[in-house]
Structure formats: structure tokens, C-alpha cells
Amino acid sequence: MGRLDRAAGPAKVAALLAHDQPGLFAAIGELDWYSGSHRHWIDDLALRDGDRVLEVGCATGALTAHMANSGYRVTGLDRSDDMIARARSDHPSLDLLVGDATALPYDDNAFDAVVAASVVNIVPDAQVVLTEMHRVCTPGGTVSVLVPAVGFTGKDLDALIETRGLTGFSRAALTKWHKGPPKMTRPQLETLFRSVGLEPAVTRSYLDGMLVAATATA
Ligand SMILES: C[S@@+](CC[C@H](N)C(=O)[O-])C[C@H]1O[C@@H](n2cnc3c(N)ncnc32)[C@H](O)[C@@H]1O
């Protein structure tokens, strides 16, 4: 790979981050390491065909679309008009809504599963968001969150890039993501769940330990 190719990845990530965040999420949603880890998390939840699923913070809807294709009745919600506009354009048949995770516009027990990727680690009020996710999930349903994990180091990142043979935009996006958002530990996730009355039954790692998920029965 030449010098220009190496520069193109980080430059594209920086430009999208600065000027077109929906474009950035739409682009990373197509990368194997990103979509694969998110799909793996959802598939591990073993939801039932026809389950009503709410994805909180769905951004441009790539995972929402995967869940719809898996046979669930899915709604994607995000507070960003721009994200939802792009999601509607990319996935016209999906049920998508602009809304605030701290005050979900749904009745109690409205969904069989409520999921959120990379949301509770970035919001200032994670407890309120998780309380709302719990409220709209039916008793016996599934509440699950996925976040970047503390403990995934720069060396781990290098190994991931190497084993997956990542280059260009894909490599730059992964590197930026590793450096960017706040991360959480498993105990932090478990404490957060218990603070809203959810007993986290399962915590699992994805993407060679870069991500951690906690799941509870509502
Ligand atoms: C880091 S992105 C993650 C997007 C997607 N879930 C993913 O994993 O690729 C966080 C998303 O949550 C949305 N968000 C942040 N705070 C929110 C809130 N209070 N209510 C609804 N959405 C929110 C943002 O607009 C953004 O699309």
C-alpha cells in the first residue's frame, strides 16, 4: 500500500466525522468487523421470530435492518434528525423514529427486547436511559447493551488490524473508534444494570475483546 492510500483512510474518517456523521455511521455499518460484531451480539440474544424489538440510538439503521431481516418486528429510535433521515433513505421499509432515550415515547412493556449499542457509554444519564429501556420492555423480555470495553489496549488493536488484514478506511475507522468514545468495564455495566433493578444474566465480549455486552431479563 502506498503513502497516499494510507493517508486516505484517516482523512476520510476525519472528513466524515467533521461534516457528515450519518455518512460515517452508514460507511462503518458496512464494514465486516463492525457489522459482524453487532450482528453477533444480536444473534446471541436468541430472540424469537416476530419479537417486537426496539433499538435505541439506532443511528443510520444498519443493525435495525439486520434485525428486521432476521424476522423481528423492529423499531429504530435516535434523537438525531440527521441520523434518522439517512436511516430512512437507506432503509425505507424500516419503522424509524426521532426520539429521546431518556423519555421513550412508548407505553410500559411495549417491546419483547430493547437493545442499544454504543449509547449508555456516551450519554450523561445512562441510568435514566437504562431505566427507560427497562420500562418499555415486557417482563421476561430482554434488555441488552453493547459498549467499547476498558482493557482493550493499543496492542490488542494492532493484533486485530493484523489478523483481519485491515487497511485504508476500515483500519482508520477502527483506530479512531478505539481512541474515541468512553469505554466501560464489565463491573461498571453490571453495576449500572443493578442500579435500575436489572440482574445482568450474561456479559459477553465481541471483536476480540474490544466490545462488551450485558444482557438481562426484564
Ligand atoms: C455512538 S452512536 C452509536 C450508533 C449505533 N448504535 C452504532 O452502534 O453504530 C450513538 C447514537 O445514539 C444517539 N443518541 C445519543 N443520545 C441519545 C438519546 N438521548 N436518545 C436517543 N438517541 C441518542 C446518537 O444520535 C447516535 O446516533
The ranges assigned to domains in the chain are 18-150+181-217
pTM above 0.85, yes or no: yes
146 CA closest ligand 1 atom index: 8
Q: Which one-letter DSSP state was computed for residue 104? A: -
Strands, DSSP E only, in 39-134?
52-56, 73-78, 95-98, 111-117
Q: Is the pLDDT of residue 2 over 70?
A: no
Question: What's the pLDDT tens digit per position in 47-70?
Answer: 999 999 999 999 999 999 999 999
Q: What is the pLDDT of residue 4?
A: 43
- pLDDT above 50: residue 137: yes
Q: Which of 39, 55, 79, when mutated, tests ligand 1's pocket best, judged by the most ligand atoms within 8 Å of its CB?
A: 79
Between these two residues, 137 and 2, which has the higher pLDDT value? 137
Q: Which CATH class is domain 18-150+181-217?
A: alpha beta
pLDDT (tens digit, 9 = 90+) per residue, 142-186? 999 999 999 999 999 999 999 999 999 999 999 999 998 999 999
Supply the residue whose CA is at minimum distance from atom 16 of ligand 1: 123
Name every protein residue with a CB atom under 6 angstroms from any ligand 1 atom: 25, 57-59, 78-80, 83, 100-102, 117-119, 122-123
Angle at 155 (CA atoms; ends 116, 167), nearest 5 degrees: 75
> Is the pLDDT confidence value at 202 over 90?
no
